[in-house]
Structure 1
Amino acid sequence: MLEELEVRDLGPIHHALLRPAAGMTAITGETGAGKSMLLNAIRLISGSTARPQLVSPGAHESWVQGIFDAGRAGAENPVTAAISEAGLPLEDEGQIFLARTMPVKGRSRAALNGRTAPRGLLEEVAGMLVTVHGQADQMRMASPARQREFLDAYAGDGPQLEAFSKAFRQYRQAQDHLEELRNQQSGAMAQADYLRESIARIDRVDPHSGEDRELKAQRDRIEHAAQISQGVMSALSALDSGQIDPDADAPSATALVERAIAALEGIGVEGVFQESAQRLRSLNADLSDLVFTLSSQLDDEGQEGDLDKINARIHDLDELTRRWGPDIDDVLAWRKKAAFELEDMDASPEKLEELQGQVEQLRGSALKAARTLSASRAKAARRLSDLVDGELHSLAMAGAGLEIRVRPRQDQDMDGHGLDQIDFLFRPYPGSDLLPMGKSASGGELSRLMLALELVAAEGRTSSGPDRSGHGHAGRDSQVGDPTMTFIFDEVDAGVGGRAAVELGRRLARLAVTAQVIVVTHLPQVASWADRQFVVAKGREGGDAVETLVHQVEGKDREREIARMLAGSESTTSLKHARELLSSSRLQA
């Protein structure tokens, strides 16, 4: 509930202080006096875009503050919960201070409970405290989401909505789990295929440990065979020419060493000569072995194999080492490890099948809950449409009508809000087509339609008890029948007069029983129903500047204002009529 609105230097208003009634408050005044600036002030503290051109001439900035009673703080109070979540302080008496400063140059500043706050937070909090029904503000109700929220709150289908939300949440969680496992399974299957193909590729080559090094060494010998043969033959010629030519007469190195050994042993003196002979014997044994080794290399030169085959084999081995190397031993180690990993992989098709069954079961439960919710919505839609049509008839809109369609979508289109496509369709006059709200009504007609909706919803809450879980009015995130909510109506009296104007005032007063109502009006038949009335009037003028004054009228002053609205003057007849109108504008207990 708005307890106080203070405005400084906004348009023609240099200073204004309003303390609206808890019930119905009327704001009246001549056309062009500046009543719209009070609505602009409300929009500013509700987080709307700043318009520096609205700053009063000669002033550096505009400042607006609204003090609201948000009710008792607690987790169940969405207003105080949002403020606490933002880390801002709460007043002990439940008051909420929303302020906005708008300079001529520079960025606007928002404050909540005396602390700087983001404009988005101001918008969120104000959206739970006040709803403006003016031509520029009605389009929010054209949103399918707002229409669904309004219908759910009116239907009182909180239990059905909660049951569906729970069932749908469980279904989606199971579905997400199944999809996750499928993705994991797909990845595991791909990995298993890779391991099988890799192992098979290695097995087709069938390498053995160190084979790559051996083949490369063999290839080197073949490629250098002539050089190797010449070197070996030269070495053998020097050591034992008989290995090269059996008819050669030159003694071998071993034969020469044998002569030296015999000569030393022939001395017959032990000591250095015998030791030298023994060393020569050892050397001769090594020479014999070396000659044998070199001669065998000559025999192997023609048995090294086909160089093309060796190169092909080396190529196959290189393909393996490029993928799993750097050498064949690493390839063999990787293959062994891959074989163990492949054995450990479990496709678990039974687990997937079991979870798929759970998903289908939970989906069935969610669909059942969604259909129950749809039935509740459809029943409430028919009732709400009929009652709104009756209210529209009393608001000088005979023949106008509202049709609320609840159309179930296909099962596969189920979302977190159910199966329903909900449309609020309005017929502004008899014979006209039903069109979506916002496309089929003028500003005044739409304001009266919103009044009818708010009134029917509020009285439905009063008769059945408030549903604190719902958001039943056409604004954002607030509750029909909640005395902390403030409804502001502008242009609701456009095109209305006579008896219909009286009925319009009566219905605004009825809505004010369950919520705070502020109406900007030029009709005395509407203003007379208010618990408190403020007049916006032009004050002193200086050049082109006009100052607007806002003051509360009571007693005789209010009678004179009602008389002015009735006849444009304060004649005896108009004053008498004003007193009669004020006296008759009372709701019956």
Structure 2
Amino acid sequence: MLTGLSIRDVVLIETLDLEFGEGLGVLTGETGAGKSILLDALGLALGVRADSGLVRAGQPQAVVTTSFDLPADHPARALIAENGLDGEPGEPLVIRRIVKADGGSRALVNDQAASATLLRELGGLLVEIHGQQDDRGLLNPRGHRALLDAYGRIDTAPAEAAHRAWAAAEARLAAARESLETAARDREWLEHTVAELRAAAPEEDEEETLAAMRADMQKGARLADDIAAARAHLEGSEGALAELRQTARRLDRIAPEHPKLAEALAAVDRAVIEAAEAEDRLAEASDAMAYDPDRLEAAETRLFLLRDLARKHRTDPDRLAALTEDLGAQLDAIGAGEAGLHDLESAVTAARAQYESAAAALTSARANAAGRLDAAVAAELKPLKLDAAQFRTALAPLAEAQWGPHGRDRVEFEISTNPGAPFGPLARIASGGEMSRFVLALKVALAERGAARTIVFDEIDRGVGGAVASAIGERLHRLAGGAQVLVVTHSPQVAARGQSHLLIEKSHDGIVTRTGVHRLDADRRREEIARMLSGAEVTDEARAQANRLLEAA
């Protein structure tokens, strides 16, 4: 609830600090005393567009500060956290708005800079202001569905979940169709390309292997004579390896005769081993580099084919095998995907049916709640001198394109102010006084199930008196049992119902005109209500009547 309002240099208000409590608070004062200034200042803190005309003449800026005591789970605290602003659950929420005389403005939430957009969102969660020209709150059809759901305690979660599932199924189907359409446009190209690649049957790292093979054969043709000569020196009965082996056999017979002979034998044995290794390597090199014109031509032909394909498909030769698999999979997916579409379409149909069932249950629940709400509002109209008027909650089906998580219904509160007159939106059909009383009737019937727990009514009793004013006071008092209610009033019957009473007065010292607000004690409150009853001159009869109103409240 709103606990404090501090105003500095707003129009006629120089310095003002107000505290508010629970229940019904009334604000009274003579016409022109500045009640509208007070509401304008509150509106500034709640995100209303800044107007430099509100800055008191001769001052550089106007400052309005509001404080709210909120439970830890209040939506306003979640909104603050979402926007990265600090705020302790047990601490008050403080909103400050600064408007400069040159037109600039700043907003602070818990002494942290905030945007005007955030301020407006917070304002909608914290306070509802209803005036005769109000076009927000209960008068805005965009919020009527949520109000009806709250009144009927209607659970929209099943419809929300079903709508999410339907949307997800639609998204999967759309993605599959788009993929198939893209693939189908390329089918002819895919078929030709995959056939060409599969005929070539490229293998991973094949290009590197072929290139190495070709290089080896080209080298082999150049080095064949040298390799053959080297092998001839090593191999055969008269080759170096045969001579080394013969030498080793001779040394083996005489090595025991002297250590040096043994060392010589060991060296020759190593030479035999190394020479044999060289013989094997020369043989392997000869085989690997063997020049075969037919094999070389085949390798070059294959190599040129792979490189041509790689250039054609703008890839590396070593990627051709993977490309063949990828394009083949795309081609195969066209056929498999067309079969898979049937399953996805079936899933969409089932999800839509689930949503329609949940939405139909919502519609039925809303129709039931609408009947009860209409009856509750109707019971409030006659005492408020609106007995010729009718109220109804109109439910209409939305076009399919507008179906959403909250169902398929358009909900709007409508009234008819005279017998036989057509129903229409509250904001367009009702006059100023009627509108405020309709809002009050709705508020009482709805028992204010929304997030905002502070409600402000601006001159809801304009143009009525007597029993109607008493009925208004009684309903405001009843409404204040579940919310903090502040009302600007000219009616003594309404003022007498207040649990706290603020008097707005204008004073003039011969130079400057100022507006001030005073909290009234019991005696001053009786005098103010007597003034409201009798006018400029307060009579004893007016005081007696004021006492009777206060005692009856």
For normalisation by structure 1, the TM-score amounts to 0.70
Tell me which of 441, 465, 487 is aligned to 2:430: 441
Q: CA deviation at 1:57?
A: 1.4
SS at match of 1:534: strand
Between the aligned partners of 1:122 and 1:40, the Cα distance in structure 2 is 15
Between the aligned partners of 2:326 and 2:84, the Cα distance in structure 1 is 52
* Residue pairs, 1:332-343, within 5 angstroms: 341-343=326-328
Partner of 1:93: 90
The answer as to 2:37 corresponding to 1:37 is yes
The answer as to 2:531 corresponding to 1:583 is no
Q: CA deviation at 1:140?
A: 4.4
Partner of 1:537: 505
Asked whether the 8 Å contact 2:132–2:432 carries over to 1, the reply is yes
Partner of 1:125: 122
Asked whether the 8 Å contact 2:51–2:103 carries over to 1, the reply is no
Q: How many residues align?
A: 441
Asked whether the 8 Å contact 1:397–1:429 carries over to 2, the reply is no
Q: CA deviation at 1:186?
A: 1.4
The answer as to 2:519 corresponding to 1:552 is yes
Q: CA deviation at 1:412?
A: 6.4
Asked whether the 8 Å contact 2:310–2:320 carries over to 1, the reply is no
* Residue pairs, 1:130-169, within 5 angstroms: 130-158=127-155, 161-169=156-164
Partner of 1:77: 74
Structure-2 change in CA distance of 1:550 and 1:194 (3 Å): same
Partner of 1:452: 441
* Residue pairs, 1:168-567, within 5 angstroms: 168-196=163-191, 341-344=326-329, 345-347=332-334, 348=336, 349-409=338-398, 414-458=403-447, 472-473=449-450, 478=451, 485-543=453-511, 545-567=512-534
**Unmatched 5+ stretches in structure 2:** 198-307
Q: CA deviation at 1:83?
A: 1.4
Structure-2 change in CA distance of 1:396 and 1:341 (3 Å): same
Between the aligned partners of 1:21 and 1:195, the Cα distance in structure 2 is 77
Q: Which amino acid aligns with 1:150?
A: L
Q: CA deviation at 1:22?
A: 0.4
Between the aligned partners of 2:413 and 2:60, the Cα distance in structure 1 is 45
Bigger shift: residues 25-34 or 4-13: 4-13
SS at match of 1:137: coil
Bigger shift: residues 136-145 or 412-421: 136-145
Between the aligned partners of 2:326 and 2:92, the Cα distance in structure 1 is 66
Q: Which amino acid aligns with 1:147?
A: H
Partner of 2:107: 110
Q: CA deviation at 1:429?
A: 3.0
SS at match of 2:482: coil
Between the aligned partners of 2:6 and 2:151, the Cα distance in structure 1 is 34
State the Cα deviation string for residues 12-54 of structure 1 (Å, max 9, x = none): 1112222123000000001111000111111101011001111
SS at match of 1:26: strand
Asked whether the 8 Å contact 2:459–2:490 carries over to 1, the reply is no
Between the aligned partners of 2:163 and 2:426, the Cα distance in structure 1 is 30
Q: CA deviation at 1:182?
A: 1.1
**Unmatched 5+ stretches in structure 1:** 203-322, 462-471, 480-484
Asked whether the 8 Å contact 1:192–1:342 carries over to 2, the reply is no
The answer as to 2:11 corresponding to 1:19 is no
Structure-2 change in CA distance of 1:343 and 1:67 (3 Å): closer
Q: CA deviation at 1:132?
A: 0.4
Detail structure 1 runs of 4+ shifted over 4 Å in the superposition. 197-202, 323-330, 332-342, 410-413
Between the aligned partners of 1:346 and 1:49, the Cα distance in structure 2 is 58
Q: CA deviation at 1:178?
A: 1.1
State the Cα deviation string for residues 437-496 of structure 1 (Å, max 9, x = none): 2110122221211111111111xx7xxxxxxxxxx44xxxx26xxxxx100001311221
Percent identity over the alignment is 34
SS at match of 2:94: strand
Between the aligned partners of 1:120 and 1:147, the Cα distance in structure 2 is 22
Asked whether the 8 Å contact 1:70–1:129 carries over to 2, the reply is no
Q: CA deviation at 1:201?
A: 11
Q: Which amino acid aligns with 2:65?
A: Q
Between the aligned partners of 1:9 and 1:421, the Cα distance in structure 2 is 45
SS at match of 2:333: coil
Structure-2 change in CA distance of 1:455 and 1:189 (3 Å): same
Q: Which amino acid aligns with 2:494?
A: V
Q: CA deviation at 1:411?
A: 5.6
Between the aligned partners of 1:107 and 1:352, the Cα distance in structure 2 is 58
Asked whether the 8 Å contact 1:406–1:423 carries over to 2, the reply is yes
State the Cα deviation string for residues 522-545 of structure 1 (Å, max 9, x = none): 1111111000010111112434x4
Q: CA deviation at 1:139?
A: 3.6
Bigger shift: residues 23-32 or 348-357: 348-357
Structure-2 change in CA distance of 1:135 and 1:154 (3 Å): same
Bigger shift: residues 398-407 or 368-377: 398-407
Q: CA deviation at 1:150?
A: 0.9
